[in-house]
Amino acid sequence: MKIQAAFSLIAALLLHVPLVAQNGKPTQFSMQQEAAMDLHRTIELDNDSKPAEITLSIKPGERSFDLSIFTMVSEGKLAIEVYDPNKTKQGSFTVGTQLDAGKKELVRGNLEKSWIEPIGGDWKVKIIPSYATGRIEIHTLTAVY
Amino acid sequence: MKFTHLGYAIAMVFIGGLVPNVCKAQSESSAYISGHLSLNKSWDSTIYLSHIPTFDDMYVMSNDMILAKADIDSLGYFFFDVDFLPEEENLYRLHIVKKDDTPATLIIGGKDENHHFLIANRFSQIFLDGAPEKPPFKTISYRNSSVNSEFQVITEMVSRADSVASKSTAAKRRLVEDQLLTNLLNIADTSSHFLVSLHAIYRSKFESNYGSNSDKYDAFLERWRKQDNPYYSSFAKHIPSSHTSHIGVWASFLTVLFAAVGFLFFRRGSRESKGLEKLSVQERKVFQFLQEGASNKEISEHFNIEMSTVKTHVSSIYAKLKVRSRKDVVNMK
């Protein structure tokens, strides 16, 4: 799985330091409101079958959490599952191409969810590809009081 | 001549009166899924019908699931002829796409959620009406399908609860979710329609709620156990095997039993085939040491017997087992 290095680094840093925005420190990422963080992560898949898991750390007491996942596959199959810190599945979908398709085809799947006062802890986005070629974009927006 | 003309005229009147009735009868007998949607210009004017083989596949999208497509006219009306559907009721999905999107696009949640589930078969005559809201399938009413009206009640109940929960504090969200779970399990318990009942079960997030409501889910399985279809079996797979059926438990038990008996029989046969039954009790003990690679001296010390006695046992073992060396004994494992 080829995770775009720059995006990953920024996302990883930001995901683990949510208090940066809370403290009102200037940041290099887009600010939707005074204490909001907008994170973007892009993952490229190239005939991939290795499952991956992305952790989204939500601090207890955050006001809201918006999650958008955009996927596109041109080959293979891709399943996405979202779990809250209580391990309850909060959403899932699968996009797949026809195995015997003679020509290129695109299949898209998007998931958009929002929570007010989300459960604090590690939210997981499970990525389960099967010979998948395509792209995943994960956008998160968190806001504090 | 006049008589001919009169007969012709009578015939035409008769046919003229008959044809519309025939057409009407044909249209009444054919199956269809039709409806009306209020769409803005961002949406493409095509609607797709997909087959959903199990409730686990509700949110699976691929081109091979799409059965048919239909045009949405300028007033928002569409029509699918569904004579080709199976006789049994199945789950289907209607979806639309944005103008720039590929036909196989599934959007879950948000203002652009693009799909709607319904039950149909080759006899269905369904008309659904979408209220002018965002997303386009947010509020759907059925004019002539009680099963889909019932199905839709569940969809809207969940959607409403999700909407309230997403805007509520954590404490209120728990209450909303608890109430939703209670309502869904009640529907699952009381609905007379299998797919409606199963829809309620799936919407109740049984994977995380099974532990605290196992009796309800088990009751569902028991109630609909005669359902011989992928919808039932795919759900049953999620439920711990001890609850799925006593036959399954017995089958598992017998499988283990047969495996154990077979293993013992094989071991015995295997041992007998090696000629171990010909060894005396003492020789078998020595044989075990030989297999572990012990020397004559070690065997002598362990059993507190003379070296010559050990050699006698070893020679006898070789003869009875028709082997020539310790290496052959070790390789008999």
Q: What is the CATH number of the domain that holds A38?
A: 2.60.120.380
Percent of chain B with pLDDT over 70: 81
What pLDDT score was predicted for residue B200?
96
Domain identity same for A63 and A131: yes
Domain identity same for A13 and A76: no
| B236-272 tens-digit pLDDT | 999 886 554 555 555 556 666 766 666 565 555 444 4
Kindly state the average pLDDT of the residues B11-23.
39
Tell me the residue range of the domain where A7 lies.
1-33
Q: Which of A89, A96, A115 sits opposite B205 (nearest CB)?
A: A89
Adjacency order of strands within the sheet including B125-130: B77-81, B32-36, B125-130, B140-142
Tokens 């997030």 — which residue? B205
Domain identity same for A83 and A102: yes
Q: Which of B59, B170, B173 sits opposite A93 (nearest CB)?
A: B59
Give the Å distances, CA to CA, from B328 to B66, B200, B274, B296: 65, 66, 12, 16
Domain identity same for A27 and A40: no
A chain contacts of residue B62, beta-carbon cutoff 8 Å: 77, 95-98, 107
| B201-240 tens-digit pLDDT | 999 988 888 888 899 999 999 999 999 999 999 999 998 8
ipTM above 0.85, yes or no: no
A chain contacts of residue B208, beta-carbon cutoff 8 Å: 86-89
Report CB contact under 8 Å: B208, A95: no
Report CB contact under 8 Å: B168, A116: yes
Find residue A116's DSSP bridge partners: A64
Domain identity same for A29 and A40: no
Domain identity same for A26 and A66: no
User: For residue A37, what are the contacts with CB-CB under 8 A and spacing of at least 6?
Assistant: A14, A18, A21, A27, A29, A31, A140, A141, A142, A143
Average pLDDT, chain B: 83
Q: Is B103 within 8 Å of B64 (Cβ atoms)?
A: no
Domain identity same for A10 and A71: no
Q: Cα(B135)–Cα(B108) distance, rounded to whole angstroms?
A: 10
pLDDT band at B295 (very low <50, low <70, confident <90, very high): confident
B134 pLDDT higher than 70: yes
Q: Is B62 within 8 Å of A98 (Cβ atoms)?
A: yes
Q: Is B115 within 8 Å of B48 (Cβ atoms)?
A: no
Q: Cα(B238)–Cα(B331) distance, rounded to whole angstroms?
A: 46
Report residue B323 as tokens: 């082997």
Question: Strand A36-48 and strand A2-3: pairing?
Answer: antiparallel
What pLDDT score was predicted for residue B66?
96
Domain identity same for A38 and A19: no
B63: contact with A, CB 8 A cutoff = yes
What pLDDT score was predicted for residue B19?
36
Q: Is B44 within 8 Å of B97 (Cβ atoms)?
A: yes
Report CB contact under 8 Å: A110, B62: no
- What number of C-beta contacts closer than 8 Å exist between A and B? 84
Residue window 75-104, chain B: list those with CB within 8 Å of chain A.
101-102, 104
A chain contacts of residue B105, beta-carbon cutoff 8 Å: 107-110
B chain contacts of residue A106, beta-carbon cutoff 8 Å: 102, 104
B chain contacts of residue A71, beta-carbon cutoff 8 Å: none
DSSP assignment letter at B2: H
Domain identity same for A130 and A72: yes
pTM as predicted = 0.69
Smallest Cα distance from B328 to chain A, Å: 46
Q: Which of A108, A111, A115 sits opposite B104 (nearest CB)?
A: A108
What pLDDT score was predicted for residue B274?
62
B chain contacts of residue A86, beta-carbon cutoff 8 Å: 208
State how many domains chain A has: 2
Task: Provide the greatest CA pair distance for chain B.
Answer: 136
Residue window 245-304, chain B: list those with CB within 8 Å of chain A.
none
Give per-residue burial for B243-273: e unless 16+ CB within 10 Å, then b.
bbeeeeeeeeeeeeeeeeeeeeeeeeeeeee
Collapsing DSSP states into helix, strand and coil, what is residue B216?
helix
pLDDT band at B293 (very low <50, low <70, confident <90, very high): confident
Smallest Cα distance from A133 to chain B, Å: 14
Domain identity same for A65 and A127: yes
Smallest Cα distance from A102 to chain B, Å: 13
Report CB contact under 8 Å: B63, A116: no
Residue window 116-145, chain A: list those with CB within 8 Å of chain B.
116-117, 119
Residue window 152-171, chain B: list those with CB within 8 Å of chain A.
166-170
What pLDDT score was predicted for residue B81?
96
Kindly state the average pLDDT of the residues A88-116.
87
Report residue B167 as tokens: 């805007």
Domain identity same for A4 and A75: no
Domain identity same for A40 and A75: yes
B82 pLDDT higher than 70: yes
- Which candidate in A66, A69, A90, A116 is best for mutational testing of the B interface (most B CBs within 10 A)? A116
What pLDDT score was predicted for residue A35?
66
Smallest Cα distance from A63 to chain B, Å: 9
Half-sphere exposure of A10 (CA within 13 A, CB side): 14
A97: contact with B, CB 8 A cutoff = yes
Q: Cα(B265)–Cα(B277) distance, rounded to whole angstroms?
A: 14
A86 pLDDT higher than 80: yes
